[in-house]
Amino acid sequence: GENVEQHPSTLSVQEGDSAVIKCTYSDSASNYFPWYKQELGKGPQLIIDIRSNVGEKKDQRIAVTLNKTAKHFSLHITETQPEDSAVYFCAARAGSARQLTFGSGTQLTVLP
């Protein structure tokens, strides 16, 4: 089955700096890659996603890049703010009927 590895497990940045979280996946048939943000005591919330026919996608301060050849994708957050502090999960899915496999999460702390 699919295996998703996520790095780093913890990341601290100064407010205003950029943060990058990286994930690799094993199933070459995976074609959908969402990123979720989970705040303490809450469920994961989708923040951005990318499909395999696109190499990069941006939404304001958040961007995701995908390298299908290397089977890795990354989340980039620019101009970080304290409210960006949370756990971020990447995930991958091979086909619409296949399950979503999550990475192990990255605890991002933005220091004021």
Partner 1 sequence: EAGVAQSPRYKIIEKRQSVAFWCNPISGHATLYWYQQILGQGPKLLIQFQNNGVVDDSQLPKDRFSAERLKGVDSTLKIQPAKLEDSAVYLCASSHSGSGGAGTQYFGPGTRLLVL
Instruction: Tell me the DSSP string of 50-111.
Output: EETT-SEEEETTEEEEEETTTTEEEEEE-S--GGG-EEEEEEEBSSTTSPPEE---EEEEEE
Which of the stretches 14-22, 33-41, 55-63, 68-76 binds partner 1 when contact is defined by CB under 8 A?
Answer: 33-41
- 99 part of the interface to partner 1, by CB under 8 A: yes
Report DSSP state, residue 1. -
- 96 part of the interface to partner 1, by CB under 8 A: yes
Report DSSP state, residue 31. -
- 49 part of the interface to partner 1, by CB under 8 A: yes
Task: Considering the complex, state which of residue 44 and residue 110 has its C-beta at the smaller distance from partner 1.
Answer: 44
Which of the stretches 14-22, 41-49, 58-66, 72-80 binds partner 1 when contact is defined by CB under 8 A?
Answer: 41-49
Q: 35, 103, 108, 110: which one contacts partner 1 (CB under 8 A)?
A: 103
- 46 part of the interface to partner 1, by CB under 8 A: yes
In which residue are the tokens 């296949």 written? Answer: 98
Amino acid at 84: D
